[in-house]
């Protein structure tokens, strides 16, 4: 079991599958900060990928309820295995495609982490409709098209306190005889609140 109470589990601690996205540790800490979880929040993680956010939130807020939504059965099983690996018990994994599956999911969220899916703007609107008043949504994107779509979508939805962060992280790596810094792919983290 993970023994620390601080966020930022090293990436290699998670089981991974080739081609399945994993929110890198440094970016994950920024996402967790943007979510502003409360002890008993209800979090939906849409496009949960490897399950790093559900695991981290499950450990940091064990009284919270977390729903990890993933359309691919193999990836959903990966999330379950990672939850088991860290003995996280407050994560429910839903196999379904957003936005179609969102109206049927209970409980309704007070926090949403939108990590992927297509069409992203439609998913954002459906997620916003499900979000409780005073709830918070955090979206991560790695390209300009989705940055514009989410930014425009939050403005159209009249989200309050919109924030946009771009991560710029470098990690020390050994390359031959030398140590050098290698960039972690930058991510945009957008957040807003519903009133």
Write out pLDDT tens, residues 166-186: 998 898 999 899 999 988 888
On whether residue 169 sits in a domain, the answer given is yes
On whether residue 141 sits in a domain, the answer given is yes
On whether residue 2 sits in a domain, the answer given is no
Residues of the chain with pLDDT under 70: 1-2
On whether residue 82 sits in a domain, the answer given is yes
What tokens does 59 get?
């450990």
Number of domains in the chain: 1
Residue 133 lies in domain: 11-193
pTM: 0.94
Identify the CATH number of the domain in which residue 42 sits.
Answer: 3.40.50.150
On whether residue 130 sits in a domain, the answer given is yes
On whether residue 132 sits in a domain, the answer given is yes
Distance (Å) of CA 155 to CA 40, 44, 49, 112, 160: 28, 21, 27, 17, 9
On whether residue 75 sits in a domain, the answer given is yes
Q: How many CA atoms does the CB half-sphere of 122 hold within 13 Å?
A: 10
On whether residue 146 sits in a domain, the answer given is yes
Phi-psi region of 36 (alpha: psi -120 to 50; beta: other; left: phi over 0): left
Q: What is the pLDDT of residue 1?
A: 60
Q: Which of 145, 137, 120, 116 is nearest to 190 (CA)?
A: 137
């Amino acid at each position: 079991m993970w023994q620390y109470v601080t966020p930022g589990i090293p990436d290699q601690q998670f089981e991974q599958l080739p081609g399945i996205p994993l929110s890198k540790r440094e970016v994950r800490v920024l996402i967790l900060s943007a979510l502003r979880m409360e002890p008993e929040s209800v979090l939906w993680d849409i496009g949960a990928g490897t399950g790093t956010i559900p695991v981290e939130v499950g450990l940091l807020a064990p009284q919270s309820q977390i729903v990890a939504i993933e359309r691919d059965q193999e990836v959903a099983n990966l999330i379950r295995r990672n939850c088991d690996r860290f003995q996280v018990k407050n994560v429910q994994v839903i196999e379904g495609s957003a936005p179609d599956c969102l109206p049927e999911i209970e409980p309704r969220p007070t926090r949403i982490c939108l990590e992927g899916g297509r069409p992203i703007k439609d998913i954002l609107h459906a997620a916003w409709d499900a979000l409780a008043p005073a709830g918070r949504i955090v979206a991560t994107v790695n390209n300009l098209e989705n940055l514009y779509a989410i930014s425009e979508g939050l403005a159209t939805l009249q989200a309050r306190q919109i924030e946009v962060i771009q991560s710029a992280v470098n990690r020390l790596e050994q390359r031959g005889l030398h140590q050098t810094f290698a960039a972690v792919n930058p991510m945009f983290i957008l957040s807003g609140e519903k009133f």
